[in-house]
Structure 1
Amino acid sequence: MIKTVATTPFTDQKPGTSGLRKKVRIFQQPHYAENFVQSVFDSLEGFEGQTLVVGGDGRYLNREVIQIVLKMAAANGFGRALVGQGGILSTPAASHLIRASGAFGGLILSASHNPGGPDEDFGIKYNVSNGGPAPEKVTDAIHARSLSIESYHILDAQDVDVDTLGASRLGDMTVEIVDPVAGYADLMEQLFDFSAMRAMIAGGFTLSFDSMSAVTGPYAVEIFEKRLGAPAGTVRNATPLPDFGHHHPDPNLVHAKTLYDQMMAADAPDFGAASDGDGDRNLIIGRHCYVTPSDSLAVLAANAHLAPGYAKGLKGIARSMPTSGAADRVAKKLGVPLFETPTGWKFFGNLLDAGMATICGEESAGTGSDHVREKDGVWAVLLWLNILAVRRQSVAQIMAEHWATYGRNYYARHDYEAISKDRADALMLALQDQLTTLPGSINSGGTIRSADDFAYTDPTDQSVSRNQGIRLLFEDGSRIVFRLSGTGTEGATLRVYIERYVDQTGKLGLETADALQPLVRAAQEIADIQGFTGMERPSVIT
């Protein structure tokens, strides 16, 4: 029986760049999750009888909200739901399943790299039929509907068994519980030379992959251990846990320090990698050689032709504005376009759909290609392994040759987390007030050539996105970018991106902190970060 339940709006359900993310206790409020799901459905047209993909990263509240989604999808007229077994679907696997099944769209239950548990974070994101995140016109409609919603529709029925593969009925809707890993792993075998990677591993190549007790565990075990033949135990923290084992599932040098320490040890494996809560981010570390996400994007783009799925070359490369310019030099050498977009994978999706780009990346450890419409952590690791298998060099050797060819972009991101929103907004407003006076000024970083608030005109539909981050460009090609992040659930996060380019004739072997120190001082001088935030140092440096 379909129930129509009266409700009142919540005023805090505006989706960000990656859906709606809040603390678990917020989602546990009566009607909260139901209101948002109904607002999604009310903002869509033409889904009657169509297929909806449902899954998540296994975090706390995942199973409960999946049952709500399924009963509401049935009550609202969907004809079929595809659900990852156990409620599990990595974000890239969900994107692939939407595309492969011809689904109308999908609801991904995740807060990505944010921590999980009863006192931590939860999220819901709607992806459209191309497998990518909903565009702004859809998220704006969802938000508008959430402010006026008066009721929601839900089936009064028993919970669905999401642990047993197979089909069942939920009202007039068919629910199919599907293997969350197999289809995705098969896609990876189509893109990469698994034979070459198997031979490399059989020949003694060693690797370590940290799934951070998050969603990629089953995917990594299937691909790295079962299909590529790496020894059992190569994948650590392989079981997805609702609280991610009390860890913060963000693959950076702070939260994946155990892996970093292993890779810097005397007996380090040849290659180390990690992925995040929902499987869309990656960390790459060679033996004694950390690779920044910006450099990783550039190396993958420069060498992608070594993998069968990219042997014909790239149509273009896209990077988010805060990401370093390392990929720009690769694009120039390859003779392909380089697109600089705002942060948010949906901007890449437009370029991928239009056939204008093949590989995309963000400095926040997200890299992907046109095989899906999300960033993809396991994909990035496999492309690195494919390159290593063909080139027969270490990660350190590949990086040294890359910098000798293209020069080096020294790069770091300083995150100031959980700042009060008023203070963060005041800092950004003060920077905006300086935009006209900063050009020509001299500070610890040198002379500023130009300053602006980044705006982007999408070449696929001419839509304009403004206020995407304040850029300070120096005479020597260095850069500082200030931006407020939209992925947290408490307060605001100020991200400061610091970049210094050194050409092939310069010092390519400096420590990153030493190379960037003058620009770090300049950022403090210009933005008065400590004065506005009260913080003497960043929460995280990556």
Structure 2
Amino acid sequence: MTSTVETKPFTDQKPGTSGLRKKVRVFQQPHYAENFIQSVFDVVEGKDGATLVIGGDGRYLNREVIQTAIRMAAANGFARAIVGQGGILSTPAASNVIRTRGAIGGLVLSASHNPGGPDEDFGIKYNVSNGGPAPESFTDALYARTLEIDRYVISDMTDIDLDTLGETTVDGLTVEVIDPVTAYAECMEGLFDFAAIRDLIAGGFRLSFDAMHAVTGPYATEILERRLGAAPGTVVNGAPLPDFGGHHPDPNLVHAHELYERMMGDDAPDFGAASDGDGDRNLIIGRGIFVTPSDSLAVLAANAHLAPAYKDGIAGIARSMPTSAAADRVAQALDVPLYETPTGWKFFGNLLDAGLVTICGEESAGTGSNHVREKDGLWAVLLWLNILAVRRQPVAEIMADHWARYGRNYYARHDYEGVEQAGADALMTSLRERLVTLPGTTIGDLTVSEADDFAYHDSTDGSVSRKQGIRILFADGSRIVFRLSGTGTQGATLRVYIERYEPADGDLAQQTGDALAPLVAAAETVASIKQHTGRNEPDVVT
């Protein structure tokens, strides 16, 4: 039986960079999750008789919203719902299932790297049939629908057993509960030289992977320990927990500090890595050296040919605008195009579908390739391991070789989290008002050469995305970027990206903080960060 439930719009359901993210207690309001899911289904075309993928990162409220989504899928005419066992599907694994099973799309229940628990964050995003996040045309229509919705439809079926593999048909919907790990692991085994990596590990190579009590624990255990032969215990914090063990599942040097300290210790493993809440981000640390996400993207692109899937080379590289230009120099050396897009993996999807790029990356610890349409944390880890297995050099030596060839982009991101929205908006407005007058001015010893508000013109579909971040470029090639993030759930997150290029014959061994100190001071001078945010320093530096 199907019920039609009258409802009223919520005015705060505008999707951000990766769907709708709010506090759990917001999603627990009567009709809140149902309104958003129904609005998604109202915008989806061709859903009658179609297949829908549903899964999440296991955070608090995951199971309850999955049951709601299943009942609403039945009432909205879908024929099949594919659900990860226990409600679990990492974001890249969900993308893989959507693509391999011919699904019309999928609901991914996650707030990515945000904390979980009854007082923390939850999220829902819709991925389209290519496996990637819905484009802006879809999310714009979705938001418009949330503002006018007056009813939703839902089946009266009882809860589905999410823990038992197999199929159940209720109210015309076949619910298929699948093993969330196997298909993804097989995909990885088809991309990389697992035999070479096994030989590396068998020869005494040690690694440590911190799953942060998030979704990648089962995936990493299966691949790293069982299929590649890493020692038991290589994967730490491997059991997914609804509150991520009370920790913040963001793979950076602040929240993964235990891994960092392990890798900087006297008896450090050869290679360390971590992933985030939903498995799409990665942290790479060699013995005694942290690899920035921007540098990791560049190294992976430069060495991708060492893995079987990319042995014939790559078609191109795409990076988000705030990501450092390290990958640009690799693209130039490989004689392949480099595309600069706004932040958000959905902007890479069109380029990947068109075959214009193979490797994509964002400074926020996301890298991936054309195997799915999401960033993929374990993919990045495995490509690093494949490179290490072939080159047989330590991570630090690989980085030194890379900088000696391409030069080094000293780079950092300063995050001011949970600041007052009004202050953050005032900061950005003030910068926008001065864009015309900034070129030619000096800030300390730096001279501004250009200043703009980044706009992206998508060459594949003609769409234009404006106000994607304010860029201030200096005559020496340095730059500062200011941007408000769309991944938080309260207040505003101001992100300041700071970059300085040092050529290959320059000083490549500076401490990043020392190299960027003049630019950090310039950022405060030009934007009056303290005045607008009330903060003396950033909450997180990565």
Say whether the fold is shared (TM-score over 0.5): yes
Residue 12 of structure 2 is matched in structure 1 by 12
Query: For residue 496 of structure 1, what is the aligned residue in structure 2?
Result: 496
2:516 alignment partner AA = L
CA–CA separation in structure 2 for the residues paired with 1:443 and 1:38: 51
- Alpha carbons 1:15, 1:143 under 8 Å: kept: yes
Partner residue of 2:68? 68
Partner Cα separation in structure 2 for residue 37 and residue 133 of structure 1: 15
Instruction: Give the residue type in structure 1 aligned to 2:209.
Output: F
Counterpart Cα distance in 1 of 2:236 and 2:275 = 11
User: Secondary structure in 1 aligned to 2:378?
Assistant: helix
Question: What's the counterpart of residue 390 of structure 2?
Answer: 390
Provide the C-alpha distance between the structure 2 equivalents of 1:418 and 1:281, rounded to a whole number of angstroms: 22
- Any idea what SS the aligned residue of 2:402 has? helix
Query: Over residues 331-358 of structure 1, what are the superposed CA-to-partner deviations in whole Å (9 max), with x where a residue is unaligned?
Result: 0000000000000101100100000000
3-state SS in 2 of match to 1:159: coil
2:91 maps to 1:85: no
Residues 280-301 of structure 1: per-residue CA shift (max 9 Å, x gap) = 0000000001000000000000
Asked whether 1:249 is paired with 2:249, we answer: yes
Query: Does the residue aligned with 1:417 lie in a helix, a strand or coil?
Result: strand
RMSD: 0.5
Specify the alignment match of 2:229 in structure 1. Answer: 229
Deviations 1:385-429 (A, max 9, x none): 000000000000000000000000000000001011110000000
Q: Secondary structure at the match of 1:301?
A: helix
Whole-Å separation in 2 of the counterparts to 1:532 and 1:118:
31
Amino acid at match of 2:208: S
The TM-score normalised by the length of structure 2 is: 1.00
- C-alpha separation in 1, matches of 2:202 and 2:261: 25
Matches within 5 A, 1:115-514: 115-444=115-444, 446-514=446-514
In 1: Cα distance, 2:232 partner to 2:3 partner: 49
| Runs of at least 5 residues in structure 1 that lack an aligned partner in the other structure | none
Q: Answer whether contact 1:71 1:170 (CA < 8 A) is retained.
A: no
Residues of 2 paired with 1:445 and 1:524: CA distance? 14
- Displacement of 1:436 after TM fit? 1.1
Match of 1:107 in 2: 107
Partner secondary structure for residue 213 of structure 2:
coil
Structure-1 residue corresponding to 2:541: 541
* Partner amino acid, structure 2, of 1:325: A
Amino acid at match of 1:396: A
223-232 or 444-453: bigger deviation: 444-453
Q: Quick one: which amino acid aligns to residue 478 of structure 1?
A: S
Q: Kindly provide the amino acid, as one letter, of the partner of residue 415 in structure 1.
A: D
Letter in 2 for 1:362: E
C-alpha displacement of 1:445: 5.2
1:42-90 per-residue CA deviation (whole Å, 9 max, x = no partner) reads 1111110110000000000000000000000001100000000000000
Please give the secondary structure, in 1, of the residue aligned with 2:252: coil
What is residue 96 of structure 1 aligned with on the other side?
Answer: 96
Inter-CA distance 533–232: structure 2 relative to 1 (3 Å threshold): same
What is the CA deviation profile of residues 71-128 of structure 1, one whole-angstrom value per residue up to 9, with x for unaligned ones?
0000110000000000000000000000000001000000000000000000000000
Equivalent-residue separation in structure 1 for 2:22 and 2:207 (angstroms):
35
SS of the residue corresponding to residue 177 of structure 2 reads strand
Residue 72 of structure 2 aligns to a residue whose secondary structure is helix
Query: Could you say what secondary structure the match of 2:517 adopts?
Result: helix
Whole-angstrom distance in 1 between the partners of 2:329 and 2:300? 13
Aligned to 1:300, the other structure's residue is in SS state helix
Amino acid at match of 2:195: S
CA distance in 2, matches of 1:45, 1:526: 47
- 2: distance between equivalents of 1:474 and 1:15? 34
CA distance in 1, matches of 2:125, 2:444: 42
Question: In 1, Cα distance between the equivalents of 2:273 and 2:450?
Answer: 37
* 2-structure distance, mates of 1:73, 1:455: 37
Write the deviation string for residues 467-494 of structure 1: whole angstroms up to 9, x where unpaired: 1100011111001000000000010000
Whether the 8 Å CA contact 1:316–1:359 is kept in 2: the answer is: yes
Q: Which has the higher mean CA deviation after the structures are superposed, 201-210 or 432-441?
A: 432-441
Q: Does the 8 Å contact 1:108/1:127 carry over to 2?
A: yes
Partners of 2:444 and 2:202 in 1: CA distance: 51
Distance 1:111 1:155 in 2: 26
Structure 1 residues 294-322: Cα deviation after superposition (integer angstroms, max 9, x where no partner): 00000000000000000010000000000
Aligned equivalents of 2:173 and 2:229: distance in 1?
A: 40
- Counterpart of 1:424, as a letter, is A
Aligned residues: 542
The separation in 2 between residues aligned to 1:133 and 1:443, in whole angstroms, is 40
Q: What is the CA-CA distance between 1:170 and the residue it aligns to?
A: 2.0
Moved segments of 4+, more than 4 Å: none
Report the alpha carbon displacement of residue 444 of structure 1 after superposing the two structures with TM.
2.6
Distance of 2:224 and 2:504 partners within structure 1: 36
Say if 1:451 and 1:471, in contact at 8 Å, map to a contact too. Answer: yes
1:505 deviation in Å? 1.2
Secondary structure (helix, strand or coil) at the match of 2:452 reads: strand
What residue in structure 2 maps to residue 32 of structure 1? 32
Paired-residue identity, %: 73
| One-letter code aligned to 1:172 | G
Letter of the 2:51 partner, please give it.
Answer: T
**Distance in 2 between the 1:179 and 1:109 partners?**
17
* Alignment partners' CA distance in 1, 2:64 and 2:368: 30
Quote the Cα distance in structure 1 between the aligned partners of 2:447 and 2:348.
Answer: 33
**Partner Cα distance (2:363, 2:250) in 1:** 13
What is the TM-score when the length of structure 1 is the normalising length?
1.00
Which secondary structure does the structure 2 equivalent of 1:519 belong to? helix
SS of 1:59's equivalent in the other structure is coil
Deviation by residue 1:165-193 (Cα, 9 ceiling, x = unmatched): 00011210100000000000000000000
Question: Could you report, residue by residue, the CA deviation over 1:111-157 in whole angstroms, capped at 9, with x for unpaired residues?
Answer: 00000000000000000000000011111111111111111000001
The structural deviation recorded for 1:279 is 0.2
**Quick one: which amino acid aligns to residue 220 of structure 1?**
A
Q: SS where residue 196 of structure 1 aligns?
A: helix
State the distance in 1 between where 2:103 and 2:434 align: 48
Offset at 1:457?
0.4
* In 1: Cα distance, 2:32 partner to 2:417 partner: 26
Secondary structure of 1:107's aligned partner:
strand
Secondary structure, in 3 states, of the residue corresponding to 2:368?
A: strand
CA distance in 2, matches of 1:120, 1:209: 25
1:513-532 alignment, distance < 5 Å: 513-532=513-532
